[in-house]
Amino acid sequence: MTACPKCGKAVEPSAQSCPVCGVILSKARAVARPVARPVVAAPAASPPPSPPDRSHASPLLAALKVGLAAAAGIAALVAIQRMRQAPVPTTAPGLPRATVAASVLPTIAPEGGTLSQDDVAFLNALSLRLARGGGGAMPTDQETGRVEQLQAANRDSEPLRNLLMGIYLRRADRDLQAGSFAQVDQTLGKMRLVDDREPQIYLFEAQARARQNDWAGALSAAQKFEGMSGEATPSQSFLVAVSLEKLGRRPDALAVLDRPVFETCATATDPADVSACTAARQMRQAFLAADAPAPAAAIAVRQRETLVVDPSKEQIQSDRFDVRFDGESQSGVARDVLFVLDRAYTRLTDVYYDRPARKIPVVLHSSQDYYTRTGAPWWSGGVYSSHNGAIQIPVRGLPSTLPREMEDVLVHELSHAFVDDMSGGFAGRDLQEGLAQYMEGKRIEDELGLDQLKRLANSNGQSVGSFYMISLAISEQLVRSRGQGMVNQLLKAMKETGSEDGGFRKVFGQSGTAMRKDILETFWRRYS
């Protein structure tokens, strides 16, 4: 007599079904048989070593270096560990059990797809090799192609899907460590074709984008993972926080660091989560230290010249601006100017996390009066003076309401006021002009066609036009690669150190000249 695997009732050895529960005994024994589960996993990506500590580095920079090093390995570690082989049933009746000492994959798939005995043996051997790891664990292109063909013929097989996704993930991780980002993108595309609802694809993609300093892409992928998985872990949440900080969204980054998931850090055991918890704690401490007000004596009060304004000009004001203009004929434009400036002031405050310390004087001139009093070049549509902190605009000849292009001019000049105040007047002209263009919405590839970009890459930057475009290219790359938050820290460091170069060295550990050279070399390689 034997026992039913399901209900335990004693049954004859020759019985086909249980007389009590009715289960088919051959199937019940197959399901009950213990199954070894090979794991499709690769070794966790080792985080790159942090740069050497520098005595002049700020607490924020040090924490970000630790955080980014952790973020570089966390996503891959989590994704690779979680992409495991699903439990698999034994072979169906009629197909001999494979001799490989591992679980076998299902032999019958929808639409008549089948796996031969040779296929089963191949898949088991490959799965076992992947589980054991080592230098020979990476599947060859021929093996990967065969798995792709088998999965295409058996699309409803979850074990086959997981095996193929595990192979793809392993290949993507190898290419990521080698810096072959195009190959990573190609493999991620294949994974989406297999199952674009698999959350781990987007967790790995977030890490890949972060390695390329594509923080907008990293944030988008991490948020897709959250939306699909409904899961917020310390490691994934930390990656979101880093991406937000690099995009200049520190308040949002702090909000992520306040997630309840970080309250579980004391009991975290997963290596990725432990690493993320440590880095998140250091990042939060650095944020708080960076936002702490400086001692009153640390930064000298900046003296500015008194702006001399024609007493016949009329005046309208807000809490932030003092606008002077010539009589009733300019009153409509003056009101529009004040409205646009107040709106832009709010937006730039959200971008720079700071604001000018004093009310900004704005003077509207007739065209002749503007060029005479400011000495601005003929092509200038507005000017900001660091000496007196004033914005001056020519308005004679404008319609009674403000044209759209004048709004861009106002945003451009107002950005100068923010950067000048934050940097203590030490920001160089190219950084000033580059950031001002960036804030009004200009992007180098939108401004110039491919032929123009090639000519710019081979120019010496001496003409007015090429100077402005190269300044835009440098500032745009600085914001994209380092994040607006770090640019803001750079401006503040210029004021603290009393020089532009001192700010670059304090925040980035190298001179401004060296950073510009690196950025321009990349630009020239891309377009020349």
Position with higher pLDDT, 41 vs 300: 300
Rounded Cα–Cα distance for residues 213 and 421 (Å): 29
For residue 322, the cross-strand partners are 317, 361
Report the pLDDT averaged over residues 223-228. Answer: 85
Instruction: Using the predicted structure, report yes or no on whether residue 22 has a pLDDT greater than 70.
Output: no
Position with higher pLDDT, 142 vs 371: 142
User: Cβ–Cβ contacts within 10 Å for residue 83, how many?
Assistant: 25
What's the pLDDT score for residue 502? 92
Question: Do residues 489 and 60 touch, judged by C-beta distance below 8 A?
Answer: yes
What's the pLDDT score for residue 321? 94
Position with higher pLDDT, 284 vs 490: 490
Selection from 467, 459, 481, 474 nearest residue 512 by Cα = 474
What's the pLDDT score for residue 55? 32
Residue 465 pLDDT grade (very low, low, confident, very high; cuts 50, 70, 90)? confident
Rounded Cα–Cα distance for residues 270 and 32 (Å): 31
Instruction: Using the predicted structure, report yes or no on whether residue 103 has a pLDDT greater than 60.
Output: no
Report the pLDDT averaged over residues 376-402. Answer: 78
Rounded Cα–Cα distance for residues 77 and 239 (Å): 13
List the structure tokens of 19.
């007389």
Q: SS3 for 198?
A: coil
Rounded Cα–Cα distance for residues 271 and 497 (Å): 39
Residue 35 pLDDT grade (very low, low, confident, very high; cuts 50, 70, 90)? very low
Instruction: Using the predicted structure, report yes or no on whether residue 373 has a pLDDT greater than 50.
Output: yes
Residue 91 pLDDT grade (very low, low, confident, very high; cuts 50, 70, 90)? very low
Phi, psi of 42 (to 5 degrees): -115, 160
Domain spans of the chain? 2-32, 59-290, 310-423, 426-528
The 8-class DSSP code of residue 307 comes to P
CATH 3.40.30.160 assigned to domain 310-423? The reply is yes
What's the pLDDT score for residue 486? 87
Rounded Cα–Cα distance for residues 458 and 362 (Å): 39
Report the pLDDT averaged over residues 314-336. Answer: 86
Q: Provide the percentage of residues in the chain whose pLDDT is more than 90.
A: 20
What's the pLDDT score for residue 113? 55
- Distance between first and last Cα of the chain: 84
CA distance to 82, 508, 524, per residue, from 514 (Å): 42, 10, 15
CB within 8 Å of 162: residues ≥ 6 apart: 40, 83, 84, 85, 86
What's the pLDDT score for residue 61? 37
What's the pLDDT score for residue 424? 92
Residue 11 pLDDT grade (very low, low, confident, very high; cuts 50, 70, 90)? low
- How far, rounded to the nearest angstrom, does the alpha carbon of residue 393 sit from its chain's CA centroid? 38
Instruction: Using the predicted structure, report yes or no on whether residue 68 has a pLDDT greater than 70.
Output: no
Residue 212 pLDDT grade (very low, low, confident, very high; cuts 50, 70, 90)? confident
Rounded Cα–Cα distance for residues 387 and 425 (Å): 9
Maximum distance among all Cα pairs of the chain, rounded to whole angstroms: 114
Continuous segment of H or E residues that includes residue 322: strand 321-325
List the structure tokens of 104.
């076998």
Which sign does the torsion angle of CA 516, 522, 524, 526 carry? negative
Q: Which of 39-43, 220-224, 283-287, 496-500 shows the lowest mean pLDDT across its residues?
A: 39-43
Report the pLDDT averaged over residues 128-145. Answer: 79
For residue 314, the cross-strand partners are 325
Instruction: Using the predicted structure, report yes or no on whether residue 422 has a pLDDT greater than 90.
Output: yes
Selection from 184, 235, 233 nearest residue 209 by Cα = 184
Report the pLDDT averaged over residues 364-392. Answer: 80
Selection from 31, 67, 7 nearest residue 257 by Cα = 67
Report the pLDDT averaged over residues 146-167. Answer: 88
Residue 403 pLDDT grade (very low, low, confident, very high; cuts 50, 70, 90)? confident
What's the pLDDT score for residue 398? 62
CB within 8 Å of 167: residues ≥ 6 apart: 40, 130, 139, 144, 147
Instruction: Using the predicted structure, report yes or no on whether residue 108 has a pLDDT greater than 80.
Output: no
Amino acid identity, residue 187? Answer: T
Rounded Cα–Cα distance for residues 7 and 46 (Å): 49
CATH fold for domain 59-290:
1.25.40
List the structure tokens of 365.
């001139």
Strand 360-365 to 321-325 pairing: parallel
Q: In what order do the strands lie in the sheet with 321-325?
A: 314-317, 321-325, 360-365, 390-394, 383-385
Rounded Cα–Cα distance for residues 211 and 73 (Å): 10
Q: Which of 304-308, 495-499, 522-526 shows the lowest mean pLDDT across its residues?
A: 304-308
List the structure tokens of 163.
């095996």
Rounded Cα–Cα distance for residues 165 and 178 (Å): 20
Selection from 103, 98, 90 nearest residue 31 by Cα = 90
Question: Do residues 163 and 40 touch, judged by C-beta distance below 8 A?
Answer: yes
Q: Which 3-state string (H, E, C) describes 337-405?
A: HHHHHHHHHHHHHHHHCCCCCCCEEEEEECHHHHHHHHCCCCCCCCEEECCCCEEEEECCCCCCCCCHH
Q: Which 3-state string (H, E, C) describes 133-160?
A: CCCCCCCCHHHHHHHHHHHHHCCCCHHH
Cα 141–Cα 42–Cα 143 angle in degrees, nearest 5: 20
- For 255-273, how does the pLDDT look when each residue is reduced to its tens digit (9 = 90+)? 888 888 888 888 888 888 8
What's the pLDDT score for residue 525? 86
What's the pLDDT score for residue 32? 40
Report the pLDDT averaged over residues 493-509. Answer: 92
What's the pLDDT score for residue 297? 43
Instruction: Using the predicted structure, report yes or no on whether residue 462 has a pLDDT greater than 80.
Output: no
- For 430-445, how does the pLDDT look when each residue is reduced to its tens digit (9 = 90+)? 999 999 999 999 999 9
Instruction: Using the predicted structure, report yes or no on whether residue 149 has a pLDDT greater than 70.
Output: yes
What's the pLDDT score for residue 60? 38
Position with higher pLDDT, 494 vs 96: 494
Instruction: Using the structure block, give the residue that is written with the tokens 């004087």.
Output: 361
Instruction: Using the predicted structure, report yes or no on whether residue 361 has a pLDDT greater than 60.
Output: yes
List the structure tokens of 261.
């998931």
Q: Which 3-state string (H, E, C) describes 468-527?
A: HHHHHHHHHHHHHHHCHHHHHHHHHHHHHHCCHHHHHHHHHCCCHHHHHHHHHHHHHHHH
What's the pLDDT score for residue 418? 95
**Averaged pLDDT score across all residues of the chain:** 76
List the structure tokens of 431.
């950084």
Rounded Cα–Cα distance for residues 481 and 23 (Å): 62
Question: Do residues 106 and 88 touch, judged by C-beta distance below 8 A?
Answer: yes
